[in-house]
Amino acid sequence: MLRSQELWRRNRQGSLWTPPWWPSDLAPLFWPALALVLAALLGSALVFFMRVWPSAPDPAAPAALVESAPEPQQSSQLTNEPASIEAPSLVEEPPVEPTQSLEPSEPETSALEPEALEGPYAPDPLLELVQRPEADGLLVQAEGLADQSLLILQVRPAFPALTSQEQQRRAELWQLWADQLGYEHLELRDSRSGLIARDALVGEGMIVLSESPST
């Protein structure tokens, strides 16, 4: 402890040895600067050693690989042994005749029969009518009243905005669709269930009740 204090005091006074080329007025800084340089060099050497050491080849690795290699003796023995040949059987087995069913086979049900289409996976004709491309997205939903032979189509607000000629053309087209599905009457209603058009009670065609913009 006393030795270190004496060295520190002599360094502050500049009485410790310094190289001839070192300035005399900076003599107290020589040894601290030298200590810092040595510490930096030591740290760099340690970092370099830590990076290089893991990449060094392990001399025991080739020996381990050689020891773990499988011995090819068994495979060579298997290839050199001749395949065993089974002796043919001298007893002839009687031929097996195919059995025929005495019961008449029932005809398979065709997948295109109407009965096969009925069920939870059968297509809904009313839903298909609403989704037809020719409807141009003007139909919202379709409701069929079988007891009245009436088909009710709910139209979008864009339908009343069409011209009277276009409304009449589409109403007659949808009446044709309803007739193809077996409905004798057709009504067009808006989202508030207001009647927009219906089939003519006398004669044929559709009667459009909504007001349309002038052409």
Look over the chain and give the mean of its residue pLDDT values, rounded to a whole number.
74
Rounded distance between C-alpha atoms, residue 117 and residue 122, angstroms: 5
Q: What is the mean pLDDT of residues 175-194?
A: 91
Q: Using the predicted structure, report yes or no on whether residue 136 has a pLDDT greater than 50.
A: yes
Q: 172 or 97: which carries more pLDDT confidence?
A: 172
Rounded distance between C-alpha atoms, residue 69 and residue 39, angstroms: 49
pLDDT band at 131 (very low <50, low <70, confident <90, very high): very high
Rounded distance between C-alpha atoms, residue 183 and residue 146, angstroms: 8
User: What residue ranges in the chain does DSSP mark as E strands?
Assistant: 139-145, 150-155, 185-189, 195-199, 206-208
Residue with tokens 């050693």: 49
pLDDT band at 214 (very low <50, low <70, confident <90, very high): very low
Rounded distance between C-alpha atoms, residue 110 and residue 130, angstroms: 29
Rounded distance between C-alpha atoms, residue 172 and residue 184, angstroms: 13
pLDDT, position 53: 73
pLDDT, position 116: 45
Q: 175, exposed or middle or buried, with CB in 10 Å at 0-12, 13-18, 19+?
A: buried
pLDDT, position 112: 40
Which range, 4-8, 16-20, 43-47, 104-108, is most confident?
43-47
The DSSP bridge pattern shows strands 139-145 and 206-208 to be: unpaired
pLDDT, position 57: 53
Rounded distance between C-alpha atoms, residue 19 and residue 38, angstroms: 17
Q: Using the predicted structure, report yes or no on whether residue 157 has a pLDDT greater than 60.
A: yes
pLDDT, position 109: 42
pLDDT, position 184: 92
Residue with tokens 């979008």: 156
Rounded distance between C-alpha atoms, residue 53 and residue 55, angstroms: 6
Residues 25-79 have pLDDT tens digits of: 667 777 788 888 898 899 888 888 888 876 555 555 554 444 555 555 554 454 4
Q: In the chain, where are the structural domains located? A: 2-16+26-52, 123-208
pLDDT, position 98: 53
pLDDT, position 64: 45
Q: Which two tokens stand for residue 101?
A: 């069913």
Report pTM. Answer: 0.42
Q: What is the mean pLDDT of residues 188-212?
A: 84
pLDDT band at 209 (very low <50, low <70, confident <90, very high): confident
Residues 80-119 have pLDDT tens digits of: 544 555 555 555 565 655 555 445 454 444 444 444 444 4
